[in-house]
Structure 1
Amino acid sequence: MRIRKERSAGPLLTALAAVTAALLGVLTLVAVPGASAATLLGDDFEDGDAAGWSKSGGSWSVVADGSRVYRQGGTGADARAVTGVGWSDQSVQARVKPIAFNGGGRYVAVLARAQGTGSHYFLGLSSTGSVVLGKRSGGAPATLDSAPAAVTAGRWYTLRLEAFGTTLRGFVDGVEVVSATDSAFPSGRAGLAGHYASAAFDDVLVTDVPGPGGPSASPTPTPTVTDTPPPGSCPTSGAPAGFASVDAWGQNGTTGGAGGPTVEVDTAGELLAAIGRSGPLNICVRGMITVPAGMHDVASDKTIVGIGSGAGISGGGFNIGLPADDAVTSPPADAVHNVVVRNLTFRGATDDAINVQMFSHHVWIDHNDLCCGYDGLVDIKRGSSYVTVSWNRTHDHTKNMLLGHDDDNGAQDTGRLKVTYHHNWFDRTPQRNPRVRFGEPVHVFNNYYVYNTDTGVACQADAGCLVEGNYFERVEEPVTNHYAGPSGRCVARDNVFADDSGRPDCSGTVQEASAYYRYTLDDPASVKAIVTAGAGVGKIGG
């Protein structure tokens, strides 16, 4: 659990909060009522506990469900859990998965302005097939507004309940569906509920500004075809910088499907057949393709590239790697390698948008637009190495990029996970930008970070991160090697920290990336303009 306090509270409050946290020995940071922070509280339960949550009824526990989640396990109780302090204006968001309902009129919900556990506003998914915005004042729930909705057990939804002044608004998966006006509760805590229903909850985020899709926030971009490229206009050429360019592990740089034939695909069947085909192949994707849920395996020696600015996939993601196997501690001969993924839009992945695992190597992920998935947007783990992630725009997503999946996976990861991140636009992605374990050197240069409310680069579990020439704007904790779990090492140099950004919390020494490859840094003061003009889809030549 990570509870945030804004720097704008001043040095005295900061010092007092630090002393309080040290005495309590519980919270990573301290929330201050009335602070002008955008992020008031965030909990993804990855620390394995639910410290700070007060419970009433039900059976609450942190369990594994892909990642760790907070589960209310029974349907026989009116179960509630609340956390935080007495905030006034608040936006409470969480991922919610209904599991089972005990009859009609039951719901799973997020809570705002909770007065203890008995009185609160709630936004719930109901067993009657509706979204309900309501309130409780110590008794039975009262409906303020409702809307029909397909509520499916076992499916994840993102609920957000906003309470600003007397205005209440409820969002499901980023779309406003209910609203009301009420003045019963001017302030209170945030919470979760299973009203005679079982559910899993994850990625709780409380802010004092509207979330994505709110009136003062940028709308979630929808992929739009801005051109109609002629057949054959598929940009398959190009070469990476950084670790994907290095000759290692029997592979000379990253060339993808070079030397193989080129195919154009515009259906899920064609795409999935092509990415799994053996031998070098250039795959040109036309338009947005909806694929089945889950991760779809990509074979070695592939270039997968979008045509124009309107190509991509939704509903699933790419898996670049063999099946996970903790017993394998050295690269197998058949490890997936030499894969290029460029110029694609990724939306609504049911797991990761792109996952690289099991000693996969020489992978180049470049000029993509990724958002709105279930877990990571680009996760790299289990001994993978010689990867470059460049010129991507990520947005409207919390768990952005993970490098190394577990603090206990040193047997596979130590000496590997050599990855370069350059010229990416981390656009309001709260955390994992990236979150790094074991890899060294992990080279993070010339990226643009804006309003990352938890952390920018988090370097832990003996990782070595070289962070240079980046532009951080409104990032409270830009670089740290003391984020959570075992500490890592980081060197931060020649970065720009703009608009009340914090400063690096770094210690230790790190291998130089220049020992592996040549590179030239852009002027960090120009990085914001360079990256916003060049990152994302539709920015590479044919």
Structure 2
Amino acid sequence: MHRRIHRFIQGAVPLALVGAVLAAPQPASAAITDLVGWATQNGGTTGGGSAATTTVTSASALTTAVGSTSAAVIRVSGTISCSGMLRVRSNKTIIGNAGAAIVGCGLNINGDRNVIIRNLTFRNWNDDAINVQESATNIWVDHNSFSNGYDGAVDIKRGSDFITVSWNRVFSHDKSMLLGHSDSNASQDVGHLRVTYHHNWFDASTQRHPRVRFGNPVHVYNNYYYNNSGYGVASTEGAGVLVEANSFENVDDPFHLGEGSSDAGTLVARNNLLVNSGSGQTGGSVASIPYSYTADAAANVKSIVTANAGAGRISV
């Protein structure tokens, strides 16, 4: 049983444990609409950019729009009911108008690149809500809400890389965010699966926030964990995870090494707020973070994230 504590902020760990993980900070916290993290690397992530905008209101129109090989900005309007997984091709911005929802299906980015998915409500999906695989790169998943799905809310696997998952809310759901699908996939995954998870609200969701294999460094910062009955973060199979300035409330198992049959990875934790939560498990070192960022103080994360995470919190 993990030791229960009322309120504790972790102090800094020796830099020898972190490697060169401290990046040059920005002079002020980024706005909630700004792209930060791994998706800024490798040429950046612009989605459809200034390409023509199309608005879709049906499953058939959405399928056609996201499957086009041309760059596009796709606005989702109303509730679209569908099933299975819809293939998303490169150079797309998929953004929800106010109240937009995708119900029953998910989006599959399979080997493509430069995709932005924002301001959408996903619920009742019958596979994954968002699946990123087969060396897909430069993906930004931002300000979405996820609930009541079958499998992962945001699963990233099979050599995918340079991804930011930010300002999302997961609730009424079990398996939140998987990073690396199999212990046997090292040949494709080692040197990839570099993802930043920041300012997400894991709202009584159960597990995988994220569950990490192989990726190093994976950066998990400024997320709010509330009443997660399974665990917060798991580092496995040689992964290196920096867990920084998060707020954990009523989480017996905030972070640990290994999970199920997966061997342990490494995990460095610093400056996290643990309220009525376990102390977590750490070990080993983590590769350096290459991008600039400013972490909010863990004591402020709950109020910042609950006010701004999820669909409907940005102007579109």
TM-score norm. by structure 1 comes to 0.52
Q: Report the Cα offset of residue 405 of structure 1.
A: 0.6
Residues 106-255 of structure 1 aligned to structure 2 (within 5 Å): 239-246=34-41, 248=42, 252-255=43-46
Please name the residue that 2:105 is paired with.
316
Please name the residue that 1:171 is paired with.
none
Q: Secondary structure at the match of 1:412?
A: helix
Do the aligned residues in 2 keep the contact of 1:239 with 1:255 (CA within 8 Å)? no
Please name the residue that 1:538 is paired with.
312
In the alignment, structure 1 residue 492 sits paired with structure 2 residue 269: yes
Q: Secondary structure at the match of 1:284?
A: strand
Of 55, 58, 61, which residue of structure 2 is paired with 1:264? 55
Q: Secondary structure at the match of 1:363?
A: strand
Residues 353-372 of structure 1 aligned to structure 2 (within 5 Å): 353-372=129-148
Of 488, 494, 504, which residue of structure 1 is paired with 2:280? 504
Do the aligned residues in 1 keep the contact of 2:220 with 2:243 (CA within 8 Å)? yes
Of 99, 103, 112, which residue of structure 2 is paired with 1:336? 112
Cα distance between partner residues in 1 of 2:258 and 2:92:
38
What does the per-residue CA deviation read over 1:23-62, in whole Å, with 9 as the maximum and x for residues that have no partner? xxxxxxxxxxxxxxxxxxxxxxxxxxxxxxxxxxxxxxxx
Q: Report the Cα offset of residue 537 of structure 1.
A: 1.0
Code of the residue aligned with 2:201 in structure 1: it is: W
How many equivalent residue pairs?
287
Q: Report the Cα offset of residue 535 of structure 1.
A: 0.1
Please name the residue that 2:194 is paired with.
418
Q: Secondary structure at the match of 1:294?
A: strand
Of 104, 107, 125, which residue of structure 2 is paired with 1:349? 125
Of 368, 375, 386, which residue of structure 1 is paired with 2:162? 386
Code of the residue aligned with 1:489 in structure 2: it is: T
Cα distance between partner residues in 2 of 1:413 and 1:239:
28
Identical aligned residues as a percent: 51
Which structure has more relative contact order (CA 8 Å, sep 6+)? It is 2
Please name the residue that 2:26 is paired with.
none
Q: Report the Cα offset of residue 479 of structure 1.
A: 1.1
Code of the residue aligned with 1:268 in structure 2: it is: A
Cα distance between partner residues in 1 of 2:204 and 2:191:
31
Cα distance between partner residues in 2 of 1:398 and 1:539:
23
- After superposition, the CA RMSD in angstroms is 1.1
Q: Report the Cα offset of residue 472 of structure 1.
A: 0.3
Of the two, which has the highest radius of gyration? 1
Cα distance between partner residues in 2 of 1:459 and 1:362:
22
Do the aligned residues in 2 keep the contact of 1:239 with 1:254 (CA within 8 Å)? no
Cα distance between partner residues in 2 of 1:354 and 1:336:
13
Do the aligned residues in 2 keep the contact of 1:306 with 1:343 (CA within 8 Å)? yes
Q: Report the Cα offset of residue 504 of structure 1.
A: 2.1
Please name the residue that 1:453 is paired with.
229
Of 182, 185, 205, which residue of structure 2 is paired with 1:429? 205
Please name the residue that 1:20 is paired with.
none
**Where in structure 1 are there 5+ consecutive unaligned residues?**
9-237, 322-334
Code of the residue aligned with 1:263 in structure 2: it is: T
Do the aligned residues in 2 keep the contact of 1:352 with 1:379 (CA within 8 Å)? yes
Cα distance between partner residues in 2 of 1:373 and 1:537:
16
Q: Report the Cα offset of residue 454 of structure 1.
A: 1.3
Code of the residue aligned with 2:68 in structure 1: it is: R
What does the per-residue CA deviation read over 1:415-435, in whole Å, with 9 as the maximum and x for residues that have no partner? 100000000000111110100
Of 253, 256, 260, which residue of structure 2 is paired with 1:480? 256
Q: Report the Cα offset of residue 345 of structure 1.
A: 0.3
Do the aligned residues in 1 keep the contact of 2:3 with 2:279 (CA within 8 Å)? no
Q: Report the Cα offset of residue 540 of structure 1.
A: 1.2
TM-score norm. by structure 2 comes to 0.89
